[in-house]
Homo-oligomer: A and B are copies of this chain.
């Protein structure tokens, strides 16, 4: 799919735009700051601030839980192998747990573990009463069947929301999944806290991954947006994206979404995250999204940066899902 998108990206069309009113409330939320560009129109959404507020609320809630039932939520993490990016993600999640008072139990297994060893680990975490949420850090090594391992996670502890029962209940209107995938919840949280109206708006989601694209399209539909999904087989994707009041991209192709892909006033939620070389950085690299930020900022009404946009909110949604799981397990409400 990525190859397809790169080839799509290389085509540029110079077409005129039809203007339409921005779908955001005229009252801008305190999470939105003016982007520092000469020719700006967009407000930058501060994902770190949103995440910080969510974590503060969760911390207080977990403190109350401890006082009330002498229990705290627990997150079990299964990490197979030593992929640098996975190690980094797990470290970030563990630290975030500590910040709000969630205990975390990271089980590290060697790269050459068997599928049965991973399944046994998942089974033990399913049985562990102090673990309320379980996540299996993806991707797994090639010799393992991801489907089998994800399906083994108890539906009641599936804080990533990738189990087909949770995904099916997300798709089915009128049903309530126990968990919604964190990135998708993060996207909606960002929209809500930025006072963006969703119902009746045209939303375009670029990408169909189970982690982000698919659940985000299903969730936006639950909030009554008219959703279109663009992918590698979409001809002239910019024609579809230019219709969007809300544009969500999660493909992992830097600068895929250019200025001419956007309708003036669009809300841009950039969920891409790719490590690219950057000689000017002390690390020699930096994280970048799918959207050409400099072009988006002069076209959009609101835009999430990468890093510092949806990413931190996604992590806080994992904490929120884990806290919800614990509340259900202890039948505790504030």
Contact = CB atoms under 8 A, between A and B. Distances in A.
A147 B175 contact: yes
A216 interface: no
A167 B172 CA distance: 8
Interface stretch (A38-46, A65-73, A220-228): A220-228
Interface in A148-181: 163-169, 171-175
26 contacts: A147-B174, A163-B168, A164-B172, A164-B175, A165-B165, A165-B168, A168-B169, A168-B171, A171-B214, A173-B208, A173-B210, A173-B214, A174-B210, A202-B240, A208-B221, A221-B229, A221-B231, A224-B231, A224-B233, A226-B228, A226-B229, A226-B233, A226-B235, A226-B237, A227-B228, A228-B229
A326 interface: no
Interface in A196-232: 199-200, 202, 208-210, 214, 218, 221, 224-231
A234 interface: yes
Contacts of A202: 240
A233 B222 CA distance: 11
Interface of A: 147, 163-169, 171-175, 199-200, 202, 208-210, 214, 218, 221, 224-231, 233-235, 237, 240
Nearest to A225: B233
Contact of A231 (B164, B165, B226): B226
Contacts of A147: 174-175
**Total identical chains:** 2
A5 to B, nearest CB: 13
Contacts of A172: 164, 167, 210, 214
A228 B228 contact: yes
Please provide the 10 A-B residue pairs with the shortest distance between their CB atoms, ordered closest to farther: A164-B168, A168-B168, A167-B168, A228-B228, A224-B233, A226-B234, A200-B233, A164-B169, A164-B165, A171-B171
